[in-house]
Amino acid sequence: MPDITTLALFSVAVLGLLLVPGPAVVYIVTRSVTQGRAAGLVSVLGVHAGSLVHIGAAALGISALLAASATAFTVVKYVGVAYLVWLGVRKLMHRESDADAVELRVQSKRRLFWDGFVVNVLNPKTAVFFLAFLPQFADPAMGPIGPQILLLGAIWLVLGMASDGTYAMLASALGGRIRRSVRARRRLDVGSGVVYLGLAAWLTSAKA
């Protein structure tokens, strides 16, 4: 299992990533704005039920990869760093217009949950992100990789639900201004790009 220092560093890295919203947060915020706090919180549950699927897939996939080749596992970790760099550059280069604002129909709580679940499970970028990010903090020398990935995923899940739940409650209180402000969304894109690039640089230097 990862040591306490690794888990603490992982938690800090996760919090840094969660502070800048991605597509799932945009979905949750929009639901909160259009249908209120309860709808946003139900959407949070659905999204993170989908996260469980990605975490399990990452644990199984990385474990199988390590069993086949320790070198391949190292390659995956470096590819993961490259992917974080790509995410950061993409966020910094992204430009958004008013036409990008999303309008969603009012739906039942059950439908909200399943929509959130499907949105997350069927997003290949989310799957790739978990495969790229979680192995950065796993160490074959500390024991089987699968349980380490599951533990890291569980920490991500708890922190993610807390962070996204906060977004849902704030969005329901602030209303449509969040969704209508292109300038605010642009600032969030820049912030998230800087976080991705900073995390990639830190992970690269930590390997040296």
62-67: Cβ within 8 A, 24+ apart? 62/131, 62/134, 62/135, 62/138, 62/145, 62/146, 62/149, 63/144, 63/145, 63/146, 63/149, 66/140, 66/145
Residue-level pLDDT at 46: 93
The pLDDT profile of the chain, 208 residues, written as one tens digit per residue, is 778 888 888 898 888 878 776 667 777 877 787 778 898 899 999 999 989 988 888 888 765 665 566 676 667 667 767 776 886 787 778 665 544 444 445 667 888 898 888 877 776 667 777 877 888 888 878 888 888 889 999 999 999 999 999 989 988 887 655 555 666 656 656 765 776 677 677 666 654 4
Q: What are phi and psi of 19, to 5 degrees?
A: -65, -25
Residue 180: which H helix or E strand, with range?
Answer: helix 177-180
Residue-level pLDDT at 98: 47
Residue-level pLDDT at 102: 47
The two structure tokens encoding residue 78:
């470096």
What pTM, to 2 d.p., does this model score? 0.67
Say how many C-beta atoms besides its own lie within 10 A of residue 157's C-beta: 16
